Chain A
Amino acid sequence: MPETTPEIEAEIDHLLAPVRHWSKRFLAFIGCLAAVVGWGAYAYSVQLREGLAVTNMRNTVLWGVYISNFVFFIGISHVGALMSAILRLTHANWRKPVTRMAEAITVCSLAVGAAMPLIDLGRPDRILNVIVYGRLQSAILWDFVSISTYLTGSLIFLYLFLLPDTALLRDRLRGVGRFRRWLYTTLSIGWKGTSGQRRRLDRSIGIMTILILPIAISVHTVVSWIFAMTLRVGWDSTIFGPYFVAGALFSGVASVLMAMALFTHFYKLQKWITPVHFRNLGLILLLLDIVYIYFTLNEYVTVSYKNETTEAQLLSALYGGEFAWIFWSVQIGGLLIPAFILAIRRTRTTLGIIVAATLVNVTMWLKRYVIVVSTLATPQMPQPWGAYWPSWVEWSITAAAFAGFVLLFALFSRVFPIVSVWEVTERHPASETTPEAEAVETEAGG
């Protein structure tokens, strides 16, 4: 930071406070999450010992909540690319206090999401076969390649934006343990903020911004292709790629909104994360909601109109049968109600937006569950419907996945500042507007 004022110093101090001091309440919270993860680890050890027989997946419904979780977590990981790349490319400067959260969500959810298919494997001990004998014709290979590329890219992305802050932590944080001192010193790779370093950082960020977009889109496209490459009713769809990408961004933005609400409350970030940020992201959520409704109409109206025999079986289960409660919860609770909350000015308050985001996230998990399970349960031979309800092992591992995600995210916010300090404390009145100034601007415009 070239020039500094007491005001900026106070801001930096405030933003580094969660990193500087780990409160007792935080340690208790971490302890609870770790306990849930530990319970999940125990459940997984049971599964390793007894085999997948301890799940309730069987030969008909052969995938269950593990694969639903996989699609869900990989889905919310897309928000990092949206916030940091798309909003950066469109010069939306209000993004600056919230991009770090989005990027951290991306990395944490990718880590948890990628673990899910491994937990689902019958032979996790043979995972290296995917590399040794990998066949490029298989959509699973496409996933393997694109998810690992996206994870690498997201880590680089997160790190590039983190670099100046690690130097800040190295220089300003006193009294932290030796490990963290070493961590900050190593990660900051001699960053001093010279103009040459800044230029190189800007160029790297510019390149990654462009690179991360096609990678992110490819990730959820090939996740959807795992399903769409089969001859199964409900999966055999040409729009699954864009449908899944839209759903991924939709639930990802909802996740960032929830994270914003929690961090603003607990870390007292009201100065940086303002109602304008909620409103702007709320409007993006509304846009994605409408896109998702559009895809949903395309997906279901076309097949319902023709009502082909096997399609009709699945549709009747979705519209009025076994899966109707989930299906309609998603359409009404996850798409229509949030759309109204976000579209009507009176309900588009910060609280309203948080409620909508929560509804979206819960129902988007249900949506993934119904995509995976209802299709597999639909008989494709002359036999009754397949039955499935997750076992305690599957619920435990699912709970551990969510707890593990929150745990990673919370720890991240206590090791690194959850708001990009160098970006929000930068003062270049000539080239960039401050969040406050822009807030006024956008308010006036809206």
Chain B
Amino acid sequence: MPETESAGEDAQALSRDVSRRRFLKLIAVGGGFAAAGALGGKFLFEKLAGTPEDALNPAPGQRRSWVMLIDLKRCDGCGVCTAACRKEHNVPAGQEWIKVYQVRNDDGSSYFLPRPCMHCENAPCVSVCPVGATFVRRDGLVLVDHDRCIGCRYCMAACPYDARYFNWGGAAELTPEERALYRPEYPLVHRRGTVEKCVFCAHRADQGQLPACVEKCPMKAIFFGDAREDAVSNGTEVWQLSKVLRESAGFRFKEELGTKPRVFYLPARRD
């Protein structure tokens, strides 16, 4: 009975085929789930752990990528930057948006460390803000919307650089004239119960001017510029950022935390 035999073979082949098809289907479905899981996981990770951008490799379509470079060898700790900043933004008493620390080495020597806001790419303050009052602008600036801030101070707890300050007292509301002046880029007036910090002089950067601290620094120690142009300037000199970072052992403060600051330093001593 050849016919029956072949029918049997057919049936066998069919069942083999079906099981193979089922197997392939299973693989496809499983793979689909795995891919969806991986994508979802990646999405979640990026949402939670910040975007993998970098100041020196800005995203395509990003027009500007502001960065600061501070040459610690030049800083003599005079504090003119802090005063210039205070004047520029009418910074409230008790706050130093750019603060000059004196760091003592074990051998007794010391150097000065000016600390503006680091405008981190992976900013812990932005991650923890419950209401999105602190945000990252397209050009990398981390700003605070004082109309939205609820004053929980979680961003201050999260900032590893103590760059944020709170308006503990003062007026709670703005007058109409003050309101007309206010922009997150230009926080000239300050409201009680909200968080403040260095804004990289966003209002000046938008007009092609250097920040107040850069302009006033008598030692010409602070540089500012656009990482996309690979150039920073202190008003008199223009340096190629990548070159100076490479040649003069540039670094970022607390690099190991993964916050990816937009502020670079050149070491205080050439050891």
- A129 CB–B CB distance under 8 Å: yes
Whether A140 pairs with B152 at a CB distance below 8 angstroms is: yes
Whether A121 pairs with B130 at a CB distance below 8 angstroms is: no
Whether B104 pairs with A382 at a CB distance below 8 angstroms is: yes
- Interface code A37-79, partner B: CB below 8 Å = 1, 0 otherwise? 0000000000000111101011110110000000000000000
Among A50, A62, A231, the residue within 8 A (CB) of B153 is: A62
With A59-B165, A232-B157, A383-B101: A51-B128 Cβ-Cβ less than 8 Å? no
Stretch at the interface among A131-139, A205-213, A407-415: A131-139
Cα–Cα, bound, A399→B204 (Å): 49
Complex interface: chain B residues within 8 A of A383 (CB): 101, 162
Whether B130 pairs with A59 at a CB distance below 8 angstroms is: no
Distance to closest chain B CB from A43 (angstroms)? 16
Whether A382 pairs with B103 at a CB distance below 8 angstroms is: yes
Whether B157 pairs with A134 at a CB distance below 8 angstroms is: no
Complex interface: chain A residues within 8 A of B264 (CB): none
The prevalent SS among residues of A at the interface is: loop
Whether B47 pairs with A137 at a CB distance below 8 angstroms is: yes
Distance to closest chain B CB from A110 (angstroms)? 19
Q: Give the residue name and chain of the B residue nearest to A49 (CB).
A: B172
Among B48, B101, B124, B151, the residue within 8 A (CB) of A122 is: B151
Whether A133 pairs with B148 at a CB distance below 8 angstroms is: yes
- A141 CB–B CB distance under 8 Å: yes
- A12 CB–B CB distance under 8 Å: no
Whether A120 pairs with B152 at a CB distance below 8 angstroms is: yes
- B154 CB–A CB distance under 8 Å: yes
Whether A127 pairs with B157 at a CB distance below 8 angstroms is: no
Q: Give the residue name and chain of the B residue nearest to A129 (CB).
A: B131
Whether B166 pairs with A133 at a CB distance below 8 angstroms is: no
- A130 CB–B CB distance under 8 Å: yes
Complex interface: chain A residues within 8 A of B151 (CB): 52, 121-123, 126
- B209 CB–A CB distance under 8 Å: no
Q: Give the residue name and chain of the B residue nearest to A375 (CB).
A: B157
Whether B162 pairs with A133 at a CB distance below 8 angstroms is: no
Distance to closest chain A CB from B130 (angstroms)? 4
Most buried by A among B48, B103, B129, B193: B193
With A130-B130, A144-B130, A381-B162: A121-B94 Cβ-Cβ less than 8 Å? no
- B19 CB–A CB distance under 8 Å: no
Complex interface: chain B residues within 8 A of A53 (CB): 168-169, 192
- Interface code B91-104, partner A: CB below 8 Å = 1, 0 otherwise? 00011000001111
Distance to closest chain B CB from A126 (angstroms)? 5
Distance to closest chain A CB from B150 (angstroms)? 5
Complex interface: chain B residues within 8 A of A138 (CB): 127-131, 154
In B123-143, the 8 Å CB interface with A consists of 124, 127-133
Cα–Cα, bound, A51→B158 (Å): 22
Complex interface: chain B residues within 8 A of A134 (CB): 130-131
Whether A123 pairs with B154 at a CB distance below 8 angstroms is: no
Whether B172 pairs with A51 at a CB distance below 8 angstroms is: yes
Complex interface: chain A residues within 8 A of B104 (CB): 382
Cα–Cα, bound, A373→B104 (Å): 26
Cα–Cα, bound, A121→B162 (Å): 19
- A362 CB–B CB distance under 8 Å: no
Complex interface: chain A residues within 8 A of B162 (CB): 59-60, 380-381, 383
Cα–Cα, bound, A226→B124 (Å): 12
Among B48, B101, B113, the residue within 8 A (CB) of A137 is: B48
Whether A135 pairs with B158 at a CB distance below 8 angstroms is: no
Whether B128 pairs with A229 at a CB distance below 8 angstroms is: yes
Among A123, A133, A230, A381, the residue within 8 A (CB) of B157 is: A230
Among B131, B156, B192, the residue within 8 A (CB) of A135 is: B131
Distance to closest chain B CB from A136 (angstroms)? 8
Whether A230 pairs with B124 at a CB distance below 8 angstroms is: yes
Whether B130 pairs with A52 at a CB distance below 8 angstroms is: no
Distance to closest chain B CB from A42 (angstroms)? 19
Whether A135 pairs with B129 at a CB distance below 8 angstroms is: yes
Distance to closest chain A CB from B25 (angstroms)? 35
Cα–Cα, bound, A133→B147 (Å): 12
Distance to closest chain A CB from B52 (angstroms)? 16
- Interface code A111-123, partner B: CB below 8 Å = 1, 0 otherwise? 0000001001111
Whether A52 pairs with B150 at a CB distance below 8 angstroms is: no
In A329-385, the 8 Å CB interface with B consists of 376, 380-383
Cα–Cα, bound, A77→B101 (Å): 44
Cα–Cα, bound, A216→B157 (Å): 26
Q: What are 11 A-B pairs at a CB distance below 8 A?
A: A51-B192, A60-B162, A62-B153, A120-B152, A120-B153, A122-B153, A130-B130, A130-B131, A133-B132, A138-B131, A138-B154
The 8 closest A-B pairs by CB, nearest first: A122-B151, A122-B193, A53-B169, A140-B130, A53-B168, A138-B130, A133-B131, A123-B193
Residues on B facing A (Cβ under 8 Å): 47-48, 94-95, 101-104, 113, 115, 124, 127-133, 148-154, 156-158, 160-162, 164-170, 172, 192-195, 257, 259
Residues on A facing B (Cβ under 8 Å): 50-53, 55, 57-60, 62-63, 117, 120-123, 126-127, 129-130, 132-135, 137-141, 144, 226, 229-232, 376, 380-383
A126-B149, A130-B150 given. 18 additional CB < 8 A pairs?
A: A52-B168, A53-B168, A53-B192, A58-B168, A59-B156, A59-B166, A62-B156, A122-B150, A129-B133, A135-B132, A137-B127, A138-B154, A226-B154, A229-B158, A232-B160, A380-B161, A382-B101, A382-B104
